[in-house]
Amino acid sequence: MAETTSFEKTYTIGGDLEVNRMGFGAMRITGEGIWGPPKDKEEAIRVLQRSVELGINFIDTADSYGPNVSEELIAEALYPYPKNLVIATKGGLTRTGPNVWPINADPDYLQKALEGSLKRLKQDRIDLYQLHRIDPEVPYEKTLEFLQRVQEEGLVKHIGLSEVSVEEIKKAQEYFEVVSVQNKYSVDFRKWEDELQYCREQDMAFIPWNPINAGNVGALNKLQEIGKKYDASAHQIALSWLLHHADNILLIPGTSKVKHLEENYKAASISLTEEDVQELNKLEQSEK
């Protein structure tokens, strides 16, 4: 039988926040189009509570999910929070309707967004606050100065970025320690490979959003083929590959159903063979 590989089960964000690498993304516990309340609020609450029961201690959210709804549900379901639970949130996107995400990283807006997140999450300080997007209408330095200031004020412990290049990360590092980068990334979408490698070198967490893209048919076929060997779905194999691919990757698959949550979590217990990892590494890198 082919030899299986192993991977680290935990990662320490910023040198002091140890989390399990299988986390939970709380975007999907809102309404359709990530707008308004969920169709089944009780199920959304159960999803959050079950995630903690499973051992998940890293939850990623944003003020724009709902907007506000995701953060409010997290507090309703889990407050007072378990001691080791890390809640990461984001600011920098506004909402004008379902599936519409205007960018606003103006410091005055971000100040209100951060204050709102603190209030909704019932926290005095955000463990990991992430800039959701760089705003082309606002000088990047102004946004970075804001993040630097709120960290100095103790409102946020650590700072992360999202959808950024290596150069944009380096620019932010002139203002504060960047501990995480959240870019779109999956087994069949690897546009940000250089950014992932830079994060590894800098000891930053890399948090792929849309981690089970499986956007092209070739990728899906290969994932399903490999999945049969492990009695696993294509999505579970896609998640498992990410855990094997780089030890600084934190996973945040999202769902509004307990059943799907449990299925996603099982991916953390799949040990792929080196041969299967290499097969997955060859998948076409294409954006769909």
Q: Do the domain assignments include residue 286?
A: no
The pLDDT mean for the chain works out to: 95
Per-residue pLDDT at 216: 63
Q: Span 50-62, mean pLDDT? A: 98
The reply to whether 288 falls in a domain is: no
Neighbours of 177 (CB within 10 A): 14
- The whole-angstrom separation of Cα 13 and Cα 19 is 8
Residue 168 lies in a domain: yes
Mean pLDDT of 217-234: 91
Q: Residue 199 above 50 pLDDT?
A: yes
Cα 28 from chain centre: 12
In a domain, 4, yes or no: no
| Residue 24 forms part of a structural domain | yes
Mean of pLDDT values over 87-103? 98
Q: How many alpha carbons lie under 13 Å from residue 206 in its C-beta half-sphere?
A: 30
C-beta separation of 251 from 24 below 8 A? no
Which tens digits make up the pLDDT trace of 152-197? 999 999 999 999 999 999 999 999 999 999 999 999 899 999 999 9
For residues 161 and 178, the answer to whether their CB atoms sit within 8 Å is: yes
Residue 219's pLDDT is 86
131 part of a folded domain = yes
How far is Cα 243 from Cα 10, in angstroms, rounded to an integer? 10
Letter for the amino acid at 98?
Answer: P
pLDDT of residue 287: 39
Domain assignment of residue 272, given as a range: 10-281
pTM of the model: 0.95
- Which pLDDT does position 286 carry in this prediction? 43
| Alpha-carbon gap, residue 266 to 240, rounded angstroms | 9
Point out the residues that are catalytic: 65
- For the ranges 115-119, 129-133, 210-214, the lowest mean pLDDT is seen at 210-214
Question: What number of other Cβ atoms are within 10 A of residue 272's Cβ?
Answer: 24
Please count the residues of the chain: 288
Taking the CB of residue 46, how many other CB atoms lie within 10 A of it? 17
Class of residue 212 by CB neighbours under 10 A (exposed 0-12, middle 13-18, buried 19+): buried
CATH code at position 61:
3.20.20.100
Q: How many domains, the chain?
A: 1
Is the four-CA dihedral 106, 172, 118, 204 of positive or negative sign?
A: positive
Q: Residue 283: pLDDT band by 50, 70, 90 thresholds?
A: confident
Query: 240, 211 in Cβ contact below 8 A?
Result: no
Look at residue 128 and give its three-state secondary structure. Answer: strand
Tell me which H or E stretch contains 17: strand 17-20
- Cβ distance 211 to 200 under 8 Å? no
**Is 133 domain-assigned?**
yes
The answer as to whether 192 is a domain residue is: yes
Give me the torsion for CA of 227, 284, 210, 21, rounded to 10°: 60
